[in-house]
């Protein structure tokens, strides 16, 4: 049996964190189901202003209202551990962090940039744990040093995400297939970097591995390298409780290994997605008429973008693949059917047991 994961005063029965997937792929439905099985359910804050566009005066206000409602729904469905994923690259980063803390989310996971000021949003009454997502030991060291110096605070855990993850990746194109940057290489280095701070300040900072982890065997192997837990996104997409459309889930089930490809995203980072006709048209230079009604990502240059990333992901979430595509981890093609989160956990535990 897997060991439980302790994060400060939080006891997580199974060391499995469901990755935050936007737009709309991981909301209260999926997060609550994962939390009910003893893992950490995570709501993605990305694009909530589109999903809840009728609840506010504009995208920013609707995003705040959407996150409040999703957290409240999750709390009604589960007494387990519920987190929120907030990307540093989002223009409404501060709004989403403040809302997650005010609504007493158990954990904030934050990547797509270095969340150097994340502790500044905590109040004396805050119970929310702060977990940065990094891709290197250097980023780990910078965050720990800055947080300790500026806020006398150290991360409650660290997620280290390798280049086999779905969505936007914190690696250069030439690093993605380089074994020197593999998760198996990065995890021990991050653990070593973290240990310096653990020893210096008598704290425990669990390191959670992510990116390309799909099976119980994968989990067993990465835990043996010293990680305290794992984060999985892709495997939870093809569950009954996943908040995306059935058409979105079908893209995973129908995908072959060669369909999962690296693309160039408008936000200036490489990303991993399931190839389709929309992506093919972009590669051929087809430029969609575009305007930017949301200004949702800081690094997105509207003057050179062939399409709006948030609208493309929102279209995919609804199953409209003529206008978008599905982000996915490298093992998305392993999905074969839609099953419950409960059965998914059971399958993972069975696979883990056989790996021993």
Give dist(CA 127, CA 132) in Å, integer.
16
Say which CATH topology domain 5-244+335-355 has: TIM Barrel (3.20.20)
Give dist(CA 103, CA 327) in Å, integer.
28
Look at residue 232 in the predicted model and tell me its pLDDT. Answer: 97
User: Are 228 and 208 spatial neighbours (Cβ–Cβ below 8 Å)?
Assistant: yes
DSSP string across 129-187: EEEEEESSHHHHHHHHHHHHHHHS---S-EEEE-TT-SEE-SS-GGGTT-GGGSHHHHH
Running DSSP on this structure, what letter comes out for residue 57? S
Tens of pLDDT, residue by residue over 38-77, are 999 999 999 898 899 888 788 899 999 999 999 999 999 9
Q: What angle do CA 236, 336, 34 make, to 5 degrees?
A: 15
Stretch among 267-276, 278-287, 294-303 having the lowest mean pLDDT: 294-303
Give dist(CA 213, CA 191) in Å, integer.
18
Give dist(CA 242, CA 210) in Å, integer.
19
Running DSSP on this structure, what letter comes out for residue 115? -
Tens of pLDDT, residue by residue over 108-118, are 999 988 999 99
Q: CB within 8 A of 248, min separation 6: which ones?
A: 25, 237, 316, 317, 318, 319, 326
Pairing of strands 10-12, 16-18: unpaired
Computed over every residue of the chain, the mean pLDDT equals 92
Look at residue 297 in the predicted model and tell me its pLDDT. Answer: 62
- Could you tell me how far CA 111 lies from the centroid of its own chain? 8
Model confidence at 326, pLDDT cuts 50, 70, 90, reads very high
Look at residue 262 in the predicted model and tell me its pLDDT. Answer: 94
Helices 183-201 and 216-224: angle between axes, nearest 10 degrees: 50
Helix (H) or strand (E) holding 64: helix 59-77
DSSP string across 1-52: -PPPEEETTEEESS-EEEPP-TTTTSSHHHHHHHHHTTSEEEEE-TTHHHHT
* SS3 of 223-265: HHCCCCEEEECHHHHCECCCCCCHHHHHHHHHCCHHHEEEEEC
Residue 256 has pLDDT above 90, yes or no: yes
The residue assigned the tokens 């969609």 is: 288
The residue assigned the tokens 């996150």 is: 67
Stretch among 34-38, 175-179, 237-241 having the lowest mean pLDDT: 175-179
Tens of pLDDT, residue by residue over 169-188, are 888 889 998 899 999 999 99
- DSSP β-bridge partners for residue 167: 272
Pairing of strands 167-168, 207-210: unpaired
Tens of pLDDT, residue by residue over 1-11, are 789 999 999 99
Tens of pLDDT, residue by residue over 83-106, are 999 999 888 999 999 999 999 999
User: Are 123 and 99 spatial neighbours (Cβ–Cβ below 8 Å)?
Assistant: no
Please tell me the chain's helix, strand, coil percentages from 3-state DSSP, rounded to the nearest 5.
40, 15, 45
Q: Where are the domain boundaries for CATH 3.20.20.70 in the chain?
A: 5-244+335-355
Residue 31 has pLDDT above 80, yes or no: yes
Model confidence at 288, pLDDT cuts 50, 70, 90, reads low
- Cβ density class 144-166: b for 16+ within 10 Å, e for less: bebbbeeeebbbbbbbbbbbbbb
Query: How much of the chain exceeds pLDDT 70, in percent?
Result: 94
Helix (H) or strand (E) holding 76: helix 59-77
Query: How much of the chain exceeds pLDDT 90, in percent?
Result: 77
């Amino acid at each position: 049996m897997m060991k439980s994961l302790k994060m400060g005063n939080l006891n997580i029965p199974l060391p499995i964190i469901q990755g935050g997937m936007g737009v709309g792929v991981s909301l209260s439905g999926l997060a609550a189901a994962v939390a009910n099985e003893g893992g950490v359910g995570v709501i993605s804050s990305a694009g909530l202003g589109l999903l809840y566009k009728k609840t506010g005066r504009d995208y920013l206000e609707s995003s705040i209202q959407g996150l409040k409602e999703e957290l409240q729904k999750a709390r009604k469905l589960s007494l387990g551990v519920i987190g929120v994923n907030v990307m540093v690259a989002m223009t409404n980063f501060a709004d989403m962090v403040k809302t997650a803390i005010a609504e007493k989310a158990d954990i904030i996971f934050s990547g797509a940039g270095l969340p150097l000021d994340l502790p500044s949003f905590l109040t004396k009454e805050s119970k929310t744990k702060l977990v940065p997502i990094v891709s290197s030991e250097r980023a780990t060291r910078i965050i720990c040093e800055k947080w300790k110096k500026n806020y006398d605070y150290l991360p409650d855990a660290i997620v280290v995400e390798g280049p086999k993850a779905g969505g936007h990746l914190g690696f250069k194109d030439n690093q993605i297939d380089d074994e020197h940057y593999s998760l198996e290489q990065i995890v021990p280095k991050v653990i070593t970097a973290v240990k310096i701070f653990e020893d210096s300040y008598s704290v425990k900072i669990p390191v959670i591995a992510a990116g390309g982890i799909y099976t119980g065997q994968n989990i067993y192997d990465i835990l043996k390298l010293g990680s305290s837990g794992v984060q999985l996104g892709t495997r939870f997409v093809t569950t009954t409780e996943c908040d995306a459309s059935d058409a979105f889930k079908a893209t995973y089930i129908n995908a072959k290994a060669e369909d999962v490809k690296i693309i160039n995203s408008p936000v200036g980072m490489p990303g991993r997605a399931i190839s389709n006709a929309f992506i093919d048209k972009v590669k051929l230079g087809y430029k969609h008429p575009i305007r930017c009604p949301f200004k949702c990502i800081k690094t997105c240059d509207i003057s050179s973008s062939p399409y709006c990333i948030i609208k493309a992901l929102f279209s995919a979430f609804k199953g409209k693949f003529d206008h978008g595509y599905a982000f996915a981890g490298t093992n998305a093609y392993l999905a074969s059917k839609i099953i419950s989160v409960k059965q998914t956990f059971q399958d993972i535990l069975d696979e883990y047991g056989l790996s021993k």
